[in-house]
């Protein structure tokens, strides 16, 4: 997959809007096709296979994990890390405690296991305990560990970084960000506290501004691609994040990053893998949000271009 081509320019003022809209529509179609193609690659299928082996934790457990280990990204039990992933918990690491369901034969009436059922006032006796269905009768605390607390075989990662010459666009993005009430920090890897994320955009409701942090990388193009994505969040999503809308918002932000980065000659083909990981079987979601992606990209291109040429 590659999206590096000679830059499209819009020089004729009378037809500029139509030209831009036609090009953006075409690029959105390209991105939709690339996402569909990315899902069939060996790289994505290997990543998907590993991801499927991690549990989908409840909201309550997710909160417990975040409270104990804010940077956690993928957690599993001590033995699971060994048997499923050939990784080992580093000596001295503190466990993250979550609730695990206790599943056993369950009384249809009181919902207790046979042993607890015998100590209650429940008089259910229509079927013997050995014929009861299995179900959750309670919860118990169990220890898990984040991938950062383990060592061993590497887990597959998706290469979603942008590539190319970012010598013009990165300084321009840093200049443009404050116009959207966004405060940007490029953070060295040793000080990065946000797990596997390459960037974050947090809405500071008390101050009415966006706090953007981007993880520093050797390639400025990768930093620029992430920064476009986070600025798009600042433009489009100026409220606290609603978890139910998160995937849709990622489509809008990365779709915008793809168009803006591509306009400025960056290879944004990694956007396809990024969106494939978010959208799964629904690449058409990109086209569904075309108008918001298109208008945001057009505005950001204009401001970045002005910053570069002034």
DSSP class per residue in 45-66:
HHHHHHHTTS----HHHHHHHH
pLDDT in tens, 125-140: 777 877 777 878 778 8
What's residue 122's pLDDT? 81
Helix (H, G, I), strand (E, B) or coil at 168: coil
Helix axis angle, 290-309 relative to 16-38, nearest 10°? 120
Tens-digit pLDDT string for the chain (310 aa): 555 454 555 555 555 667 778 888 889 889 989 998 998 999 999 998 998 888 888 888 989 998 999 888 899 999 999 999 999 999 999 999 999 988 878 887 787 777 777 777 787 777 787 777 787 877 889 999 999 999 999 999 899 999 999 999 999 999 999 999 899 999 999 999 888 889 999 876 656 678 999 999 999 999 999 999 999 999 987 655 555 567 788 889 999 999 999 999 999 999 999 988 886 446 567 777 888 889 999 999 999 999 998 8
Beta bridge partners of 41: none
pTM of the full structure: 0.77
Measured between alpha carbons, how far is 76 from 53 in angstroms, rounded to an integer?
Answer: 9
What's residue 205's pLDDT? 63
Cα 49 to Cα 82, 155, 156, 273, 279: the distances in Å are: 17, 11, 10, 15, 16
Integer-rounded Cα radius of gyration of the chain: 24
Beta-carbon-side half-sphere exposure of residue 221 (alpha carbons within 13 Å) = 17
Cα 15 to Cα 2, 48, 259: the distances in Å are: 28, 44, 19
Helix (H, G, I), strand (E, B) or coil at 264: coil
Per domain, the residue ranges of the chain are 16-47+157-309, 75-152
pLDDT in tens, 49-62: 998 888 888 888 98
């Amino acid at each position: 997959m590659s999206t590096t081509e000679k830059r499209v320019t819009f020089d004729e003022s009378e037809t500029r809007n139509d030209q831009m809209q036609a090009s953006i529509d075409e690029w959105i179609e390209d991105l939709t096709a690339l996402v569909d193609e990315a899902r069939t690659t060996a790289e994505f299928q290997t990543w998907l296979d590993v991801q499927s082996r991690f549990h989908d934790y409840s909201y309550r457990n997710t909160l417990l994990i975040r409270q104990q280990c804010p940077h956690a990204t993928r957690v599993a039990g001590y033995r699971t890390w060994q048997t499923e992933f050939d990784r080992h918990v580093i000596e001295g690491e503190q466990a993250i405690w979550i609730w695990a369901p206790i599943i056993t034969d369950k009384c249809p009436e009181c919902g207790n296991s046979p042993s607890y059922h015998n100590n209650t006032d429940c008089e259910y006796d229509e079927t013997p305990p050995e014929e009861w269905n299995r179900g959750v009768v309670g919860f118990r605390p169990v220890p898990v560990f984040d991938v950062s607390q383990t060592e061993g075989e590497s887990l597959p990662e998706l290469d979603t970084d942008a590539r190319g010459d970012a010598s013009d666009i990165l300084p321009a993005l840093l200049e443009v960000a404050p116009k959207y009430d966004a405060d940007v920090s490029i953070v060295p890897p040793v000080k990065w506290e946000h797990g596997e994320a390459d960037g974050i955009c947090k809405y500071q409701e008390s101050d009415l501004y966006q706090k953007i942090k981007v993880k520093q990388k050797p390639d400025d193009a990768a930093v620029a691609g992430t920064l476009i994505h986070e600025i798009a969040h600042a433009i489009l999503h100026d409220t606290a994040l609603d978890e139910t809308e998160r995937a849709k918002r990622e489509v809008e932000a990365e779709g915008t990053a793809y168009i803006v980065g591509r306009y400025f000659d960056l290879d944004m083909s990694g956007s396809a893998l990024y969106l494939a990981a978010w959208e799964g079987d629904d690449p058409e979601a990109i086209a569904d949000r075309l108008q918001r992606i298109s208008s945001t990209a057009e505005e950001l291109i204009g401001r970045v271009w002005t910053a570069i040429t002034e």
